[in-house]
Structure 1
Amino acid sequence: MEITSIVVGRAAMNMAISEDRQDEKEIQKRLNARDIRSVAVDFGGEYLVSVKKIIERAVVAAERQGLVSANHVGEGAVAGATHAALEQITPKAVGLNVGGKIGIARHGEHICVAVYFGVGVLNLNEVAVGLAHRSLASVEE
């Protein structure tokens, strides 16, 4: 089966909706068997003041797990996709707190970032999901 951007997006979303570290590791193992590299990172805080920190966490996690190179090409792809995914949840999240997970997956030239957050105040939460894709060379220069 050809691994397309749809497949990589699904992988990123699976990482984002994983319930705990054990679940993450099991999903990662299944994805690695298909040559899809992945990582997930938790996040929580006030949405608007945290957008920069969310993007930074995504970039650092992707670099540490070897999904992208530590240069402007790899970092830019992750940062751009993360920002685009966050734009999808901004209408629900402005002025509120978020908590959840960022999932990132890569295969070849496809990299996807998924965000899965609870949004709200106290226990009055809504759920928000965002997903974005970027293309980059299989080996960044």
Structure 2
Amino acid sequence: MFENGKNSFAKASLSSIEIGRAALRIAITANRSEEMHVKESLAEQGIRATAVDFGGEFIISIVKIIERAVVAAQRQGLVTETHVGAGAVAGAAHEALEQVKNKAVGFNVGGKIGLARCGEHLCVAIYMGVGVLNLNEMCVGLAHRSLASDE
């Protein structure tokens, strides 16, 4: 994990389940102020996290959702700006989207991507509404990737 160009090693005792819970926690925030509160709370536990909104027709939006996840993770220092860091985020985001695609194909979606990182654990959570007009179904996808602590 990089912070201001320097290595910042997080608590090694946190498990992938706890990091997944953190990604989901930030993904379900209702607004930016709640998001910042959750981000600060997670930082106290040694977890770096960020979130980004998305919306549109599902199939057309898949690439944009993955791109937004990668850019957010790199800008917030969750991963380095290398193909290894980008690949880990893109892979986890793609897997999370795979988990919700059967509900989402052919519909409009809107929601938030939550990303959390601690040590070697990186988790991506997708929380979104799927539907037409105001007839929405909710769904969640969550995926994990492991990468070196300094990546």
TM exceeding 0.5: yes
Paired residue for 2:77, among 50, 66, 81? 66
| TM superposition score normalised by structure 2 | 0.91
Determine whether 1:25 maps to 2:36. yes
Task: Identify the residue that residue 107 of structure 2 maps to in structure 1.
Answer: 96
Residue from 2, 7, 12 that aligns with 2:23: 12
* Structure 1 runs of 4+ with >6 Å offset: none
Aligned to 1:80: 91
Q: What is the distance in 2 between the residues matched to 1:134 and 1:95?
A: 28
User: Hey, what's the Cα distance between the residues in 2 that align with 1:139 and 1:79?
Assistant: 18
Match of 1:41 among 45, 52, 57: 52
Aligned length: 140
Which amino acid is 2:88 matched to? A
Decide which moves more: 1-10 or 111-120: 1-10
1:72 & 1:61 partners in 2: Cα distance? 15
Question: Unaligned stretches of 5+ in structure 2?
Answer: 1-10
CA distance in 2, matches of 1:89, 1:106: 22
Deviation at 1:89, TM superposition (A): 0.3
Letter of the aligned partner of 2:35 in structure 1?
E
Question: For residue 63 of structure 2, what is the aligned residue in structure 1?
Answer: 52
Q: Does 1:113 align with 2:90?
A: no
What's the offset of the Cα at 1:104?
0.1
What secondary structure is seen at the aligned counterpart in 2 of 1:102? strand
**What RMSD in Å do the two structures reach over aligned CA positions?**
0.9
Per the TM alignment, residue 39 of structure 1 is displaced from its structure 2 partner at its CA by 0.3
Gaps in structure 1 of 5+ consecutive residues: none
